[in-house]
Structure 1
């Protein structure tokens, strides 16, 4: 069957469509070189993106991150470079498209993974979707990081906590993910704690209502003030001090929380130390008058 012009209608319309500077086009990579990439848009002319217009990430590697067949969106910078090619910039397109994507990622609480590109004063820099993001030192780990240089080139996971398009500000947090992971790990460890077992721990913190005791493997339990002594005390500091080693009994594990008792151990000790009355019958019982009066002097 012979092909007609109708068969090529869509291709012809695409090739003659009006393209303007500022338009964002999506095309397929047909060539990758050290100078940049060449894109096919089903247009009469191909599009060229120079290496410096591909990404704002200083760690970007063209041969590692772009391959023939990949689809790329880019902004039209110039209609003709003098050789009939469209001149494009993925950096400019990313600047428009990335912010919308970043806002959606924040709403979805998405986890982003990447490498710290630079350690700076008060935090670190990581690029997400080609946009420079800042991670404050207070959000790099579970605790404030004084020396951020140790994070240079480190792979991390983070959440997006602020997207401000007007100010071009992107703020990330590793801490929120680390906190969640820590809670999940603790929950798994707590499942293995046996109620009734006696363990040695270290007093971590004193509160009005009791003491938190580290019983090992990153697990802590609450030793309520009523379970510290068999005598009534007004505050845990009357008996305990932080850093003190204590033996405790695990009395309850519920909803990921562990209840401890020193009093329960004292109760057991007291019972063990009570004298036992062990009666053994020996000889024969007698009710004779002589036996009753034996040793009694009569005047």
Structure 2
């Protein structure tokens, strides 16, 4: 009984699959429609798709991508699914002529807008050097990376960037003007900020550090620390004496010892005064200890003296 039920279920599934395939094979496919198919063959001249239809889809190599560096044999795999626009319902040989480029022109702009909204990081390859920047393709769309957006550091020579692999973000998408602008700089900046924030998080409040005064403001002094970090010494934390301006006691370039007060909001709050106060407290303790030691020596000497006297 169980075997019979399984056979009936299997037959039912087979009939449903056949029905779906039959219905798909007789559906109408019109020019301009975007359809998807599975790659069943690829060579240097064309890609053949199984469209689950009575006719196969053909995409000529020149209709695969706008990217001049696109390599059909390297970038198209058998079994992958491709979306393409119907150029001709019959190419004269019983196949459906398709264009991947046209489909991408329609779909890619929406994808690029989504990338920008999500701040998605994308890996691209620089394919061309142009005036004041370089070109890289994303989703088949030609994107421009200005020289100012290539790196955190100033870029003078563009030729060394040719064929370089970059991680970028989409910063401008204008479908109407066919304008796509990318930036590697924003990715670098975020990673640098994350690294700095990690270093800041590793600082323990109360730690004494050495630094260099790098700038003076009416409200305090900025001090450069190790590993590219810097912190603010508020004017109230500069000196044990009351001062009206940081320049009264500090000069840019001065080497100072500072104490880490806190690292709230990834900002380092420092104190020179706290180091001075600790130093003064240590000196007082040393003086008191020396005085106590001296009194103890005098006491011991007088004791020894009286011990040897006979009354």
RMSD over aligned Cα atoms: 3.0
Structure 2 counterparts to residues 38-49 of structure 1, below 5 A? 38-49=48-59
Once the 2 structures are TM-superposed, how far is the Cα of residue 272 of structure 1 from its aligned partner? 4.8
Q: Cα deviation per residue 1:93-143 (whole Å; 9 max; x = unaligned)?
A: 110011122222222332222222233333332211111122233333335
| 5+ residue gaps, structure 2 | 1-7, 304-311
Q: 1:153: Cα distance to partner?
A: 2.5
Shift of 1:39: 1.2
Q: Is 1:227 aligned to residue 237 of structure 2?
A: yes
Corresponding residue for 1:142?
152
Paired position in structure 2 for 1:168: 178
Distance 2:37 2:160 in 1: 40
Aligned partner (choices 162, 165, 176) of residue 152 of structure 1: 162
Matching residue of 2:212: 202
Q: Distance in 2 between matches of 1:110 and 1:162?
A: 13
| TM-score between both structures, scaled by the size of structure 1 | 0.82
Q: Which residue of 2 aligns with 1:245?
A: 255
**In the alignment, does 2:68 pair up with 1:58?**
yes
Alignment partner, residue 217 of structure 1: 227
Structure 2 SS opposite 1:68: coil
Compare 25-34 and 204-213 and name the one that shifted more.
204-213
2:115 corresponds to 1:105: yes
Look up the match of 1:117: 127
The count of residues paired between Structure 1 and Structure 2 equals 284
Q: Residue 31 of structure 1: CA displacement?
A: 0.6
1:292 corresponds in structure 2 to: none
Gaps of 5+ in 1: 285-299
* 2:136 aligned with 1:126: yes
Counterparts of 1:172-187 in structure 2, within 5 Å, are: 172-187=182-197
C-alpha separation in 1, matches of 2:302 and 2:33: 116
